């Protein structure tokens, strides 16, 4: 579909260009350009005359020597006798003999013609009877000369611009067809009144010349004349027989006749017209139509034109073929112009689809992008946009949007984000709603760390909108709605309906999933830096859904929280963890294990008592079980939280503060809670070894935690440098992909330290 449309568009451009060039071929200006081009080529590719043709010129010197003008014709008589004696092959006169002169002179010439062996040719001219008249008068030599000569046509026909470019093969004079002088000399025949172009690349100076008076007096190179064709004509300026021609300026008619004859001697040229080179230009133009940049177009146009002109020159010089190139060049220029216009249009279109501040594609670009059926669209709405703008300044706002987009891109992995509106960034989403909501949560988390804009740290709050069928406007409205309601996200009605359905069905399956064993628990090691051993782990839940495949906890934990299914799920994880923990302890491992406890459960009495029952029934070793709670979980209702956490403490469960740094807790607040451990959030740890501000925060947090008697875990350690940094900063434990990914209980056990082995370091530590 696209390809045919593309071809059709190309074809139209071609057709229009072709019409322009064909139209141009008919225009007089085309002829002018063509003549100019031919002249230029002829000037560069000059050639020598054949040497067969010699000129005897009635030059100024000869006229001066004769002392009177017109001279009497006995001069001609002496001339032809000399030439005959020297063995000339033929003698042609480009001088009119149409009126009588002196009796003796004329008689002497007539007699000489009759007596010599060399054939003599005299000219006939065709002239207008009066200026502007169409009737033509034929101008023949007087009868007494006509006896022993052949008559040749010597008419010269200048073009409209008074330049002589072509010559006829022959004319009809006095009712008889006669060859032109040049056709006769070259021995070429052609139909009367058809013309051939004179080859002005032949250098007139290479035609041998003799002064009339010298020949008449026998003072010339006789051997040089033997066997040659001689053409006699006037070159003296005062005799006036001169015409304008291309390249050589104004030259005597006899020289034109000689060049015309030389043209035919070299082989009659062929006029091929403009079609062959236009055909050659077609594939070149097609190639040019593939150019994508101005540079390519210029290069292609120059190259194609050079090929056309070189072909023209080669045909002319090598094959004596005259081919016109102007229509072909016009065709190339037209296609180049069309291509330039196309690029300009694409650029304008791109400009219209780009947000000038941030350089991101805009809403128009979103509308023009192709979207899969049923694709969702998400928008992020920047809260307090005006305040941010006044802080970073108007000129940095684009930069701000770009940085924000990068952050979202980093979390979502989406290739193209759009600036849907001043304060809104949008992106398409192909998967389920649930995954999108995970993304929102992760973006929100990533933005807990301020953005760095022009040296300023900017706190950004966002909320989100979702709509289905790529309805950007609906998604934007939904995001505004979320903002109004103070929620993290809001879904447009259609999207909401689909989500509710998905959620209900997923949560309906959760209970069965536990029963069916689709829910499992994996453990991510926390490495203790003082011993370089794994002495603690975090339990992380996994759901292997039979149809949907592996579901991320980020996806179903929030759903479980909302639909009151988090309690049974957490109790399941707790039971499983305690089971494994006891198993490891019985085998002598030094290990503690942490379970994540959602905010909701901390203040839930039913969860409290259920957890209490399990812990009492199984009797886990004191302080080997840890509950990880997040900062925000405890802050909504601190009193209840503190009371409940105290109850866990009494059961011998250690409390760890998860994701530290992403909330707003203060030192005094931390003191309220019965904590054992502080986990610094991944967002700060990840780059602490390269980013100064992060390093500072991590160091001061470690100091603070130590002063409160807490041990510190650094989360999200992915590289050795980061681990080294934390060790140097005094961190107690590290967790992250560099140490290990979350692994199964079976995979974990070999990594653990068995009590006997660890005896020595343990004792040493206690002693200190």
Considering Cα of 421, then 422, then 423, then 428, what sign does the dihedral take?
Answer: positive
* Chain residues 572-611 in contact with ligand G, contact rule CB under 6 A: 573, 596, 598
Q: Is residue 202 within 8 Å of residue 49, measured between CB atoms?
A: yes
Packing angle of the helix pair 433-446, 397-412 (nearest 10 deg):
130
Of the listed pieces 5-13, 324-332, 612-620, 709-717, which binds ligand G according to CB under 6 A?
709-717
Q: With respect to Mn ion, which residue has the nearer C-beta, 322 or 660?
A: 660
Neighbouring residues of 763: CB distance < 8 A, sequence distance ≥ 6: none
The CA distance from 230 to 86, in Å, is: 11
Q: With respect to ligand G, which residue has the nearer C-beta, 43 or 552?
A: 552
**Strand partners of residue 424:** 381, 421
Of the listed pieces 74-82, 412-420, 448-456, 549-557, which binds ligand G according to CB under 6 A?
549-557
Buried b (16+ CB within 10 A) or exposed e, 541-567: bebeeeeeeebeeebbbbbbbeeebbb
Judged by CB under 6 A, which of 45, 237, 737, 759 binds ligand G? 737
Q: Is residue 200 within 8 Å of residue 259, measured between CB atoms?
A: yes
Of the listed pieces 266-274, 279-287, 556-564, 650-658, which binds Mn ion according to CB under 5 A?
650-658
Please state the closest distance from residue 677 (CB atom) to Mn ion, in A: 11
The CA distance from 469 to 374, in Å, is: 5
Q: With respect to ligand G, which residue has the nearer C-beta, 159 or 554?
A: 554
Instruction: Establish if 554 lies at the interface with ligand G (CB under 6 A).
Output: yes
Of the listed pieces 298-306, 511-519, 552-560, 602-610, which binds ligand G according to CB under 6 A?
552-560
* Chain residues 655-714 in contact with Mn ion, contact rule CB under 5 A: 658
CA 221 to chain centre: 71
**Strand partners of residue 249:** 245
Interaction mask 238-277, ligand G, x per CB under 6 A: ----------------------------------------
Please state the closest distance from residue 518 (CB atom) to ligand G, in A: 14
Residue for token digits 């494994």? 580
Instruction: Establish if 570 lies at the interface with Mn ion (CB under 5 A).
Output: no
Count of residues interacting with ligand G (CB under 6 A): 22
Please state the closest distance from residue 700 (CB atom) to ligand G, in A: 21
Interaction mask 623-642, Mn ion, x per CB under 5 A: -----x--------------
Instruction: Tell me which residue has its CB nearest to ligand G.
Output: 736
Of the listed pieces 271-279, 350-358, 608-616, 733-741, which binds ligand G according to CB under 6 A?
733-741
The SS3 call for residue 504 is helix
Q: Is residue 420 within 8 Å of residue 467, measured between CB atoms?
A: no
Q: Is residue 51 within 8 Å of residue 208, measured between CB atoms?
A: yes
Q: Which of Mn ion, ligand G, none sits in contact with 525, Cβ below 5 to 8 A by type? A: none
Interaction mask 664-703, ligand G, x per CB under 6 A: ------------------x---------------------
Q: With respect to ligand G, which residue has the nearer C-beta, 717 or 729?
A: 717
The CA distance from 419 to 403, in Å, is: 12
Please state the closest distance from residue 594 (CB atom) to ligand G, in A: 9
Buried b (16+ CB within 10 A) or exposed e, 75-92: bbbbbbbbbbebebbbbb
DSSP 252-291: EHHHHHHHHHHHHHT---EEEESHHHHHHHHHHHHHHTT-
Judged by CB under 6 A, which of 421, 658, 677, 732 binds ligand G? 658
Q: Which of Mn ion, ligand G, none sits in contact with 659, Cβ below 5 to 8 A by type? A: ligand G
Judged by CB under 6 A, which of 34, 659, 677, 732 binds ligand G? 659
**Cis before 70? omega within 30:** yes
Please state the closest distance from residue 447 (CB atom) to ligand G, in A: 16
Of the listed pieces 31-39, 216-224, 632-640, 711-719, which binds ligand G according to CB under 6 A?
711-719
Q: Which of ligand G, Mn ion, none sits in contact with 625, Cβ below 5 to 8 A by type? A: none
Instruction: Establish if 633 lies at the interface with ligand G (CB under 6 A).
Output: no
Q: With respect to ligand G, which residue has the nearer C-beta, 76 or 660?
A: 660
Judged by CB under 5 A, which of 126, 305, 596, 735 binds Mn ion? 596
Q: With respect to Mn ion, which residue has the nearer C-beta, 324 or 658?
A: 658
Please state the closest distance from residue 655 (CB atom) to ligand G, in A: 14
Number of H helices and E strands in the chain, helices first, is 31, 31
- Nearest to 675, CA basis, from 719, 703, 723, 641: 641
The CA distance from 745 to 725, in Å, is: 29
E-only strand ranges, 111-208: 120-128, 136-139, 149-153, 166-168, 170-173, 176-179, 195-197
Binding positions for Mn ion, rule: CB under 5 A = 596, 628, 658
Binding positions for ligand G, rule: CB under 6 A = 524, 540-541, 552-554, 557, 570, 573, 596, 598, 658-659, 682, 715-718, 735-737, 742
């Amino acid at each position: 579909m696209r390809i045919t449309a593309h071809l059709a568009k190309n074809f139209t451009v071609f057709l229009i260009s072709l019409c322009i060039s064909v139209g141009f071929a008919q225009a007089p200006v085309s002829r002018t350009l063509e003549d100019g081009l031919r002249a230029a080529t002829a000037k560069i590719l000059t050639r020598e005359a054949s040497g067969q043709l010699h000129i005897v010129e009635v030059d100024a010197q000869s006229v001066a020597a004769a002392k009177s003008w017109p001279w009497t014709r006995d001069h001609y008589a002496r001339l032809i006798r000399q030439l005959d004696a020297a063995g000339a092959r033929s003698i042609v006169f480009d001088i009119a003999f149409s009126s009588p002169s002196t009796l003796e002179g004329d008689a002497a010439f007539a007699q000489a013609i009759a007596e010599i062996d060399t054939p003599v040719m005299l000219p006939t001219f065709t002239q207008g009877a009066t200026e502007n008249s169409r009737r033509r008068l034929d101008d023949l030599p007087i009868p007494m000369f006509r006896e022993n000569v052949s008559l040749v046509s010597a008419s010269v026909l200048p073009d409209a611009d008074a330049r002589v470019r072509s010559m006829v093969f022959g004319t009809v004079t006095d009712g008889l067809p006669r060859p032109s002088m040049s056709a006769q000399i070259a021995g070429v025949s052609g139909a009367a009144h058809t013309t051939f172009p004179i080859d002005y690349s032949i250098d007139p100076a290479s035609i041998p010349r003799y002064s009339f008076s010298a020949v008449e007096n026998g003072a010339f190179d006789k051997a040089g004349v033997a066997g040659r064709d001689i053409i006699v004509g006037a070159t003296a300026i005062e005799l006036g027989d001169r015409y304008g021609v291309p390249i050589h300026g104004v030259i005597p008619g006899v020289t034109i006749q000689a060049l015309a004859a030389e043209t035919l001697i070299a082989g009659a040229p062929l006029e091929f017209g403009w079609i062959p080179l236009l055909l050659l230009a077609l594939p070149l133009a097609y190639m040019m139509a593939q150019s994508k940049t101005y540079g390519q177009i210029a290069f292609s146009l120059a190259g194609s034109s050079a090929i056309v002109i070189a072909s023209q020159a080669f045909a002319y010089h090598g094959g004596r073929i005259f081919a016109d190139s102007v229509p072909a060049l016009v065709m190339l220029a037209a296609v180049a112009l069309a291509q330039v216009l196309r690029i300009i249009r694409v650029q304008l279109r791109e400009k219209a689809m780009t947000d000038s501040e941030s350089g991101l594609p805009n809403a128009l670009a979103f509308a023009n992008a192709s979207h899969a059926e049923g694709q969702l669209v998400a928008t992020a709405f920047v809260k307090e946009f005006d305040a941010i703008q006044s802080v970073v300044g108007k000129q940095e706002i684009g930069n701000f949007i770009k940085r924000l987009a990068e952050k979202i891109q980093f979390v979502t992995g989406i290739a193209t984000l759009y600036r849907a509106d001043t304060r809104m960034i949008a992106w398409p989403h192909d998967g389920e709603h649930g995954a999108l909501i995970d993304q929102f949560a992760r973006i929100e988390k990533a933005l807990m760390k301020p953005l760095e804009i022009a040296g300023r740290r900017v706190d950004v709050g966002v909320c989100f909108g979702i709509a289905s069928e790529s309805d950007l406007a609906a998604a934007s409205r939904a995001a505004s709605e979320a903002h109004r309601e103070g929620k993290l996200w809001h879904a447009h009605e259609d999207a909401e309906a689909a989500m509710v359905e998905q959620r209900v069905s997923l949560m309906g399956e959760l209970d069965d999933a536990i029963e069916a064993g689709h829910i499992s628990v994996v453990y991510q090691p926390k490495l203790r830096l003082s011993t370089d051993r794994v002495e603690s782990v975090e339990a992380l839940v996994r759901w292997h859904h039979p149809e949907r495949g592996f579901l991320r906890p980020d996806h179903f934990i929030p759903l479980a929280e909302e639909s009151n299914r988090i309690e049974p799920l957490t109790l399941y994880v707790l039971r499983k963890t305690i089971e494994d923990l006891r198993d490891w302890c019985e085998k002598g491992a030094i290990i503690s294990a942490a379970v994540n406890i959602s905010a909701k459960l901390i203040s839930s009495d039913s969860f409290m008592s259920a957890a209490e029952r399990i812990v009492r029934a199984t009797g886990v070793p004191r302080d080997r079980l840890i509950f990880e709670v997040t900062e925000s979980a405890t802050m909504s209702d601190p009193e209840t939280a503190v009371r409940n956490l105290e109850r866990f403490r009494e059961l011998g469960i250690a409390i760890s503060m998860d994701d530290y740094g992403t909330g707003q807790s203060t030192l005094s607040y931390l003191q309220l809670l019965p904590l054992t451990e502080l986990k610094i959030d991944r967002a700060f740890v990840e780059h602490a070894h390269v980013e100064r501000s992060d390093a500072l925060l991590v160091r001061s947090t470690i100091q603070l935690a130590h002063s409160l008697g807490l041990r510190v875990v650094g989360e999200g350690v992915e590289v050795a440098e980061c681990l080294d940094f934390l060790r140097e900063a005094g961190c107690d434990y590290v967790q992250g992909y560099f140490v290990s990914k979350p692994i199964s209980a079976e995979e974990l056990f070999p990594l653990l330290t068995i009590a006997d082995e660890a005896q020595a370091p343990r004792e040493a530590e206690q002693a200190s």
